[in-house]
Amino acid sequence: MDFRSQSAALDGLATQAADALVLVIAGQVLPQGLDSAAAALIKDAIKLGDFELKAGQCLSLLRPAGFKAQRLVLVAAGAATTKAAKAAVAAGLGQLKGKGAAHAAIAFAGFAAEQTEALAEHAVLAAADAVYVYRHTKPSAPAPGKLAKITLLADKDQAKAVKAGLTRGQAIAAGIELARECANRPGNYATPSFLADQVRGLGRSHGLKVEVLDQKAIAKLGMGSFLAVAQGSDEPPRFIVARYEGAPKTQAPVVLVGKGITFDSGGISLKPGAEMDEMKFDMGGAASVLGTLRAVAELKPKINLVVIIAACENMPSGRALKPGDVITSMSGQTIEVLNTDAEGRLILCDALTYAERFKPKAVVDVATLTGACVIALGGVRSGMYASDDELAQSLSSAGDAALDPCWRMPLDDEYEEGLKSNFADVANVGSRAGGSITAAMFLKRFATQYRWGHLDIAGTAWKGGAAKGGTGRPVGLLTHFVLSQAR
More confident position, 66 or 221: 221
Active site residue 359: no
b/e burial code for range 175-190 (CB count within 10 A of at least 16 → b): bbbbbbbbbbbebeeb
SS3 404: coil
**Looking at residues 111-129, what average pLDDT do you find?**
97
Contact 90, 66 (CB under 8 A): no
Least Cα distance to 128 among 98, 81, 169 occurs for 169
Q: To the nearest whole percent, how much of the chain has pLDDT over 70? A: 100
**Looking at residues 100-107, what average pLDDT do you find?**
94
SS3 301: coil
110 phi-psi bin (left φ>0, alpha ψ -120 to 50, beta other): left
Tens digit of each residue's pLDDT (9 = 90 or more) over 197-222: 999 999 999 999 999 999 999 999 99
Question: What's the whole-model pTM score?
Answer: 0.97
Tens digit of each residue's pLDDT (9 = 90 or more) over 452-466: 999 999 999 999 999
Those residues with Cβ within 8 angstroms of residue 190's Cβ, 6 or more apart along the chain or in another chain:
182, 183, 262, 280, 283
SS3 451: coil
Give the model's pLDDT for residue 169. 98
Give the model's pLDDT for residue 141. 87
Give the model's pLDDT for residue 108. 97
Tens digit of each residue's pLDDT (9 = 90 or more) over 375-433: 999 999 999 999 999 999 999 999 999 999 999 999 999 999 999 999 999 999 999 99
Give the model's pLDDT for residue 143. 80
Q: What are phi and psi of 83, to 5 degrees?
A: -60, -45
More confident position, 246 or 141: 246
Tens digit of each residue's pLDDT (9 = 90 or more) over 219-233: 999 999 999 999 999
User: Which of these is catalytic: 345, 381, 451, 473?
Assistant: 345
**Looking at residues 49-74, what average pLDDT do you find?**
95
* pLDDT tier at 310, thresholds 50, 70, 90: very high
* pLDDT tier at 142, thresholds 50, 70, 90: confident
Domains along the chain with CATH numbers: 2-154 (3.40.220.10), 175-485 (3.40.630.10)
User: Which of these is catalytic: 99, 271, 463, 468?
Assistant: 271
Contact 333, 446 (CB under 8 A): yes
- Is the confidence at residue 487, as pLDDT, over 80? no
Tens digit of each residue's pLDDT (9 = 90 or more) over 11-21: 899 999 999 99
Give the model's pLDDT for residue 244. 98
- Is the confidence at residue 144, as pLDDT, over 80? no
Checking DSSP bridges between strand 238-245 and strand 304-314, what pairing results, if any?
A: antiparallel
- Is the confidence at residue 160, as pLDDT, over 90? yes
Tens digit of each residue's pLDDT (9 = 90 or more) over 80-103: 999 999 999 999 999 998 888 999
How far apart CA 261 and CA 281 sit, in angstroms, is 8
Give the model's pLDDT for residue 251. 96
CA distance to 160, 279, 398, 419, per residue, from 82 (Å): 18, 33, 14, 42
Mean pLDDT of the chain: 96
Active site residue 345: yes
* pLDDT tier at 237, thresholds 50, 70, 90: very high
